[in-house]
Amino acid sequence: MKKQGGIKVVLLMCLGIFVCMLDSTIMNITLPAIQDDLKTTLETSSWMLNVYTMTIAVLAIPMARFADMFGKNRFYLVGLFVFGLGSALCGLADSGSFLIAARFIQSLGAAILIPLSMVIGVAAMPMEKRVLSLTLLGATQGLATALGPTVGGLITEKLSWHWVFYVNVPLCLAAMILSLFLLRIKGEAKLHARIDWLGLVFSTMTIFPLNFVLIKGNEWGWMSTYSISCYVVSAFSLVLFLVIENKVKDPMVNLALFKDRQFVGSVLTVTTGFIFFIGVMVLLPQFLTTFQGKTELEAALLLTPASAAIFIFANFAGMLVKKIGFVIPIMIGFSIMGVSYYLLRHLTIESSSLDIILLCSLLGLGFSFVISSATLASTSSFEGELLTASQSVFSMLRQVGVVLAVAIFVAGLTNNIHDKQSTVVHYAENKVAQLNLPDSTKEIVIKKTKEKLQSENKKTEKQESFITEEQQNKMIDSNVKIILDQMPSEQREAAKPAVYEKVKAEVNAEVLKQQTEVQAYTKDVSHYAKNTFSKSFSALYQAGLPFVFICCLIGFVFIKRRSKKTIKSKEVAV
């Protein structure tokens, strides 16, 4: 296949994949501002994030297949236009439902751009120089994913959340103009094949329910009727998909891909690598803002070392793979990520910014080895149709890794916090029992504490007053009546003002005394709750620690590779 454009085309593809991967994480730290501005529910807000990842996972394979049939370069231009249009519509959104629809349009463009950026970029260089394009493209993926929260936080604080999306528009326009000069649009090679409609249907029915249950499973329950239905539909569709793809003349996915050990190793590496990387990048900002009191921008900047490490070390990792193979770099990558998880298991509200910077740097360093190795391995020695197919499957499974990370880590954090709520409530009940308050007041105090703990806002810094002004006035009136009833009737009217002022002063003093006790109690419980809930994060990463090190074993998949001949597909110019 004729190579065109060289390094210029590779850099153009880096731009395309950068904007797409950046938008996979850029909303993580911007979401609270969007939710507040558009007045959306948590359910709606979650779909603003999830529709992007889900659409890419579901449509990456068919879009890459259509690109083969109708022209990859032409399809790449379409992808840039659709992504830019979707980004503009996202910025113009004035409601949650409009933003979800706009994100869907944006993700359609991304489903085209992500696999095609890899395919066109790899094909732009001769086989002997493929490692350069793969290293640059792999580094761009990891860098953009890690930079998302930082860029999102910076733009939101300095401009507004709308510009998180508007910034993509000029980038897409510039990429479209460059594409017209650098890519061969007329007379480009196309694949003559029929559309595998059954493969399209059953691939969608395999991936969509799986992604859907990963997103909703924590809310439904992982063994609920809804979840089990998704498992069954996904598994049944997968079986039918494999049967169809094995028999059809022009399959949606050529199953010969999975006979290549190097490719199988690449999809295992990228899926697990993204699970452990995104598991930190999604939740750590929440820890920093909720428990350490950082601003969104401060939290985003503390994550920046992960991006810097990927940018600095990805090329080195690529060169190392070229010299010594995949086994050692993959094992190094997961081992370093494991060290980062070891530091995360010691994460507390007293952890310093230096501690956060260190663990993020190690996470980015380890991930740079993982993503570089996986990206290089994903192409194997494929060309043409199989190269496109390999990148569509690779892109799909990378997005599945992102969805899995969110599902696993958010579910784990939710369960940890739920378990610790009972511990905090038990502590609060013991503290309330020691207060010098009437039993009725103690009941009110503990009730309000439980309500606060069960609300979305876990902070308990400010407790509402346990007695209202109306209740306080009723207490005064009641006590005044008791005193006046004990006096001769002819003296009551004259004595009432003095009695009222005296009783009011006594009640106010008593209420103030009780409020002082409750404030001390609230401060104590708040501190205990913050420390206890913050341990939910460290416990989560402690549970994940052995799995990160187990993933080092993926490196052994690459040891006994069969000798591969370059697999070329049938591609004819129109």
CB count within 10 Å of CB 294 equals 18
* Cα distance between residue 225 and residue 349, in whole Å: 39
How high is the pLDDT of residue 492? 72
How high is the pLDDT of residue 570? 42
One-letter identity of residue 144: A
* Cα distance between residue 485 and residue 479, in whole Å: 10
Q: Is 477 exposed, middle or buried (0-12, 13-18, 19+ CB in 10 A)?
A: middle
According to DSSP, the residues that pair with 382 across neighbouring strands are 567
Compute the residue count for the chain.
Answer: 574
Which residue is associated with the tokens 């860098």? 143
Q: Model confidence over 294-336: pLDDT tens digits? A: 877 788 788 888 888 888 888 888 888 888 888 899 999 999 9
One-letter identity of residue 242: L
> What are the residue ranges in the chain where pLDDT is below 70?
1-5, 42-43, 127-128, 130, 187, 189-193, 218, 380-382, 384-385, 434-442, 450-472, 475, 507, 510-511, 514, 560-574
Please name the residues in contact with 522: beta carbons below 8 A apart, sequence gap of 6 or more: 460, 462, 463
* Cα distance between residue 262 and residue 122, in whole Å: 17
According to DSSP, the residues that pair with 189 across neighbouring strands are 573
Query: From residue 137, how far is each of 11, 57, 118, 128 by CA, in Å?
Result: 8, 19, 7, 16
Nearest-10 Cα torsion for 344, 349, 352, 355: 0
According to DSSP, the residues that pair with 567 across neighbouring strands are 382
Domain ranges of the chain: 431-531
How high is the pLDDT of residue 361? 92
How high is the pLDDT of residue 274? 85
The helix/strand/coil state of 463 is coil
Query: From residue 11, how far is each of 188, 319, 350, 416 by CA, in Å?
Result: 20, 18, 43, 44
CB count within 10 Å of CB 405 equals 24
Helices (H), ranges, 185-260: 197-220, 225-247
* Cα distance between residue 92 and residue 499, in whole Å: 64
How high is the pLDDT of residue 3? 47
Give which of 59, 63, 102 is closest to 84, Cα–Cα.
102
Q: Would the CA dihedral through 81, 139, 147, 98 be positive or negative?
A: positive
Assess contact for 434 and 524: CB atoms under 8 A.
no
The helix/strand/coil state of 573 is strand
